[in-house]
Amino acid sequence: METVSILFYVILFLSTLLSYPFLRKQKRGLIPMNRFKLPPGSMGWPYVGETLQLYSQDPNIFFLTKQKRYGEIFKTHILGCPCVMLASPEAARFVLVTHAHLFKPTYPKSKERMIGPYALFFHQGEYHNRLRKLVQSSLAPDTIRKLIPGIEDIAVSALESWAGSGQVINTFYEMKKCSFDVGILSIFGHLDRGYRENLKENYRIVDKGYNSFPTNIPGTAYHKALLARKRLNQILGEIICERKEKRLVEKDLLGHFLNFKDEKGQTLTEDKIADNIIGVLFAAQDTTASVMTWILKFLHDDPKLLEAVKEEQKAIYDSNDGGKRPLTWAQTRSMPLTYRVVLESLRMASIISFTFREAVADVEYKGYLIPRGWKVMPLFRNIHHNPEFFSDPHDFDPSRFEQVAPRPNTFMPFGNGVHACPGNELAKLEAFILIHHLVTKFRWEVVGSQSGIQYGPFPVPRQGLPARFWKDSSRDVCPLVRDLGKNSTSIEATKLFCS
């Protein structure tokens, strides 16, 4: 209820604040409305628009209902902004790829202030291109393959902690911790424990305040987050200074930032480096954690599929001397069924349900006007769940990725175009490694209700998927007893011989 109340006040504030300038522009005639017609759709109530309808139900149902009524392009007014929604692959490509220069990324100023104005996903043009290349090079396969041992350590440590506690855990919350640690590893390599804990504590405060009401009043979550963000800059400044003093040449993300020089010999300022580090952590944590939480739910809900994934991973486990040797890059590339499970989880969950852009000029698309200043939202989830592109779209079916690749621009779990997620390979690698160790050494059971979705803001199973984990005791017995257990009519027979 607290989240709903906060959202309500945010809605009223933003609607009043943002609608007024737009209405003034319309009155002045700065936005020509007569050359082409606006897309069909309702703009809702004055100022508030249709925001209350959006948040009074599942957002996906809101968008799907609109699409069924008006078609694959329609207008609405939410969060204080007039918007055009696009639910076709062609329209998504138009906005994100072929005419991307006409649509700039747009975020509320409060979000930009929290992450940092120099973060690459707030920009387009030359600055964005340079920073994106740096991030991509540090997260390319040749670089992240060296992170496998570190990611394995993080995954195994987390799983053993969950199993050892004997408690029901909030899976999403714990996955966020794992994703954060992997993010730290990819940015800094093996960072000093003191720095790592300081970064984690202050980032947690920033994360908590990111989606709060943006009031800079002492004691509020947003105010605390702004103070923590300043402390993050100080911590990152100390790390950068130490790296420079030791003259370390590393191939991690920080190393790429520190070694960068443009054509004029200019290096990146510490503020630019800090903003982009925080941006990468933000982009990597919640989205990856959400996907991994959904993977656990989908596998738990399909015992037959889970057994097939276990068999695939057990073959790799056995080839590594019963898990005594670490995973190799080649092995993570040779998990066809697991790979399809990850792809289908990305499609079903559609963590990034849509993306925000803003038209920088009046744009005509298929006879409709998209006025300058209007928000434009390609609806990835609507495309991923369209039966025209994916048969029985509400069924979890990894086999749909087995033989025929999806049609172009119909599967965009990491976005598309120049602003597509540069860390997608790292996210998939993290999922492969966690799944391998989970299904070969542990078991889990979802506790309580197994249906429902909550948004915070990314979709996750209700209550973060409460689950209990335990070690798979069959991995710890001698071969003779294991064989006996296989021939027994009950798994309990194996446990009896083990005791």
Partners of residue 379 on adjacent β-strands: 354
- More confident position, 486 or 115: 115
Pull the structure tokens for residue 13: 């504030």
Mean pLDDT (the chain) is: 86
397 alpha-carbon distance from chain centroid: 21
pLDDT-derived band at 474, boundaries 50, 70, 90: low
Q: Is 83 annotated as a binding residue?
A: no
% helix, strand, coil for the chain, step of 5: 60, 10, 30
pLDDT digits (tens, 9 = 90+) for 22-49: 444 443 344 455 568 999 999 988 878 8
Q: How far apart are CA 91 and CA 284, in angstroms?
A: 27
Secondary structure (DSSP) of 202-219? HHHHHHHHHTS-----TT
Contact 124, 104 (CB under 8 A): yes
| DSSP strand pairing (375-378 vs 81-86) | parallel
Give the pLDDT mean for 340-353: 94
Partners of residue 86 on adjacent β-strands: 73, 378
At residue 48, the pLDDT reads: 80
3-state secondary structure (DSSP) of residue 402: coil
Eight-class DSSP state of 117: T
At residue 1, the pLDDT reads: 38
For the chain, list the domains and their CATH numbers: 1-116+351-384 (3.30.43.20), 122-189+250-348+418-499 (1.10.630.10)
At residue 35, the pLDDT reads: 67
